[in-house]
Amino acid sequence: MKTLLTLCLSVIALTAFAQNQPAAPPPANAPATAAPQIPGAPPNLAAPIPPPAAGTSPALAPGTSPVGPAGAPPAPGTTVTATLSASPATTASPAASPAPEMKATGMFTGNFLIDNFRKGGPIMWPILIVSIVGLTVVIERIFWWGGRWFRRDPKLIEKVFTAIETGDVAEASRLSRGSRDPVLRMMWNGLNHQHASLQGALQVAAGIEIKRAGRFLVVMDTLVTLAPLLGLLGTITGLIRSFSFLGNEELAVQAVTGGIAEALIATACGLGIAIFSLVPFNFFTSRVSNLEFELQTAATNLEVMLEANVKAKREAEMTTTR
């Protein structure tokens, strides 16, 4: 009798404690099922529920226990409330669901250049044309100066000057004929026209060689100035596009950020092309200046040596006549 009374009091206390506890939130993937209340029944007792369906297992409500203290069975006349929860076989937990594959994103994955080209706006097309022209000119000039380096023949130039110094102008002309060195071509042109106008012939030949060496430098100079201006124009158009959407609150943030991205991309591309063209432009300009100095030096030496030969011949003729 005492044991039965103790069990009844324990069950009543556990039921009251369960009602005072806050209800646990239902799982996100399974709707919570509540036990129906029987009209007229005490608030702490719930009607018995039907047996669980296949694939489900009964779960006790928070704060309740199917057995009493020390594993004793429940008291007669009491009803245990229970909730049904889906078994793992029928309902997958959020942690067990396969996560979607994350696509690797980065600067060098996908069509990074194409995406940024589209984001840069319509001004990117003139910038693309400028970049192609600049790259073509730089490659052409690199090949030309590379061939010029291999065409140099300083030893042959020394032989020509030695022949002129000894008075053998015909031998000097023969040595310089057919050479691909710009200095030797100029000297050959001057030697063949020394009786008409030596200085004029040297100036014409030197001008032709300098023009060949400085070909496309004007184009590169134009690209160095034009590319940043196109980038600045892209900046202005991007900012205009950004501010045109400020009145629409729904699209303001996305449109403004898109316009700012367009402005920055165009500016970066313009500056990049200008920097890429400026370094080769300065290098090729310095090479042209060096070639001009070599031609002037060779022309001056040729004039001095030929004048010295003429004076030596006159003095020799004067001595023979006396």
| In the predicted structure, residue 67 carries a pLDDT above the cut 60 | no
Please name the amino acid found at residue 131.
S
> What is the pairing mode between strands 56-60 and 82-86?
antiparallel
Query: Distance between CA 132 and CA 120 in Å, rounded?
Result: 17
DSSP-derived secondary structure for 96-108: TSPPPPPPP-STT
Degrees to nearest 5, angle at CA 27 with 22 and 31: 100
Whole-number mean pLDDT of the chain? 74
Q: How far apart are CA 163 and CA 158, in angstroms?
A: 9
Provide the β-strand partners of residue 82. 60
The least confident of 8-17, 130-139, 211-220 is: 8-17
What is the 3-class SS of 30-49, one letter each residue?
Answer: CCCCCCCCCCCCCCCCCCCC
| pLDDT at residue 256 is higher than 90 | no
Average pLDDT over residues 102-121: 66
**pTM, entire model:** 0.59
